[in-house]
A and B are shown apart, each in its own frame.
Chain A
Amino acid sequence: MSFTGVMRPGHVCIRVLEMGPALTHYVERLGLQKVGQDDQGRVYLKAWDEHDRFSIVLREADAPGMDFMGFKVCSTADLDRLELAVRDYGCDVERIPAGELVGCGHRVRFTIPSGHSVELYAEKDYVGNGLGLTNPDPWPEGLKGMQVNRFDHGLLYGPNIPDVVDFFVNALGFNLTEKVLSPDQKIIGAFLSCSNKAHDIAFIDYPEPGKFHHASFLLNSWEELLRAADIMGMYEIPIDIGPTRHGITRGRTIYFFDPSGNRNEVFCGDYTWYADRDPITWHAEELGKAIFYHDRKLNENFLTVVT
C-alpha cells in the first residue's frame, strides 16, 4: 500500500571487496538467489518472496559501502510527478536510462542532504516468486541458509538529518514514524515510511556524509531469527549484536557483517504504521533503550562502525 506514489524500497547497490566471498555470504548464507551479472561485473540478486527481477546489486570495489538505494514508485506518471517534485525542491536530478541496471526501467537519481544517492524508478522486469499467482503454495522448497523473504529497509548515516526528513516528507510524501531528539531538540535519528511498515528507510546523524549502516532483510518469526543466528554460528559469520529487540520500530533483530564489513540485519515483527498517527519520540538520553531494548545500552559499534 502506498500513500505517496512511492511504493517500497526496490533495490540497494552494495560495494564489496571480493565478489567470491560476498556471493557465498549473500547466496549460500542469507539465501538470496543469483539472477544475473552485467558487463560491468555487477551481480544481481533477489530474495525468494520478491516478484521483481532483483533487489540487491553487488559491485566489487576498493572500499565497501553503498552506491545507491532505489525506491519503486507505483506508475510512470508517479515517477514523472515525483521527478518534478524533487527538481522543484531544489535537488539536482540525473536521469539514468532504462537498462543501465539490467531489467530496470529508467531511474531518477538525486543526492539527499546526508550525501547518499537515492533513486526512483517505476518499472522492473516481473519474474514472480516461483509459486505462481493461482492457488499458490506458501513457500518454495530448496531455499538456502537463512531464507530471507525480502530486502526490507536501509539505515544510513550522515549529516543534516532535519533536512533529510524535510526532503522525504515534503518532496517524496513519506511519513516520519519515529524520531530521536537531542537534548537541544534537534532530530538526530529519523525513521521514515512510504507504506504501512514502521520504516522503509532510516537515518542517524553522523559527521561523515554518505555512510552505510545496514541493509535489512525480512524474516517471518522470532524462531526464524534464532535459526538465522544458528547459521551465523555454524559459519562463523561475525555478529554485531542480537538476537534482541529494538525499542524503535519494535523489530526483533540480529546485526551481523558481510565479508567486506558491510552490516546486514535480519529482522521481523515491526508494527503496522498508519498515516493518521503522530510520530513516536525518543530522547537521546534513552537511545540505548531505543536501539537495544533489553540491554538498554548502545554497543559502541552501533555508533561508530559503518562502511
Chain B
Amino acid sequence: MNESRAYRITIADSDEDFLCKDGQNVLRAMERLGRKGIPVGCRGGGCGICRVQVLDNGRYRTLKMSRAQISIQDEASGMCLACKLIPQGDLRIQPLGLLRKKLNN
C-alpha cells in the first residue's frame, strides 16, 4: 500500500470523478470527498445498494461481499459492491444499485 498514491474513479454516464487513495474503498473515497454517483447503503458488503460494474478491464481487488448480492458469476464479470472495491489503477465504473437484482428476479 502506498499512501501517497491515488487512483481516479470515473462514474460512467455522468460528469463525476474523484480520487481514491491506495488501499481505500471506492465508496468511502466518494463519501469523504462529499461526492455523489453511487448509492450508499450499509457500507459493509451486505445490502447490495452500492452495486457497480467495473468497465474497461480496470485493475482492482475486492474484500468479502455477500453472496446473496454478488454471485460467483457476477464477480467474474466485473460486478462488485463499491464499499468492498479497492482500486489498483484508475477505474471507470457503472452504478447498478438494486436494478440488476430486480431484473434477475
Contacts and interface: CB of A to CB of B under 8 A. Distances in A.
A218 to B, nearest CB: 22
Contacts of B41: 261, 301, 304-305
Contacts of B67: 62-63
A207 B43 CA distance: 23
A122 B49 CA distance: 39
A189 interface: no
Given A304-B49, A305-B47, A307-B47, A261 B68 contact: no
B69 interface: yes
B12 interface: no
Nearest to B67: A62
Contacts of B65: 17
B44 A258 contact: yes
A261 B98 contact: no
Interface string B53-69: 00000000000111111
Nearest to B97: A304
A63 B42 contact: no
The prevalent SS among residues of B at the interface is loop
B95 interface: no
- Chain B CB count within 10 A is highest, among A258, A260, A261, A301, for A261
Interface of B: 40-47, 49, 64-69, 98
Contacts of B64: 17-18
A257 B44 CA distance: 7
The prevalent SS among residues of A at the interface is loop
Interface of A: 17-18, 62-65, 238, 240, 257-263, 301, 304-307
Given A63-B69, A305-B41, 4 more contacts: A17-B64, A63-B66, A257-B46, A307-B46
Contacts of B40: 301
A262 B43 contact: no
Nearest to A238: B43
Contacts of B45: 17, 64, 260-261
B44 A64 contact: yes
A214 to B, nearest CB: 11
B43 to A, nearest CB: 4
A164 B66 CA distance: 27
Nearest to A240: B42
Please give me the 9 A-B residue pairs with the lowest Cβ-Cβ distance, nearest first.
A261-B46, A261-B44, A261-B42, A63-B68, A62-B67, A64-B46, A238-B43, A63-B66, A305-B41
A63 B65 CA distance: 7
- Chain B CB count within 10 A is highest, among A64, A262, A306, for A64
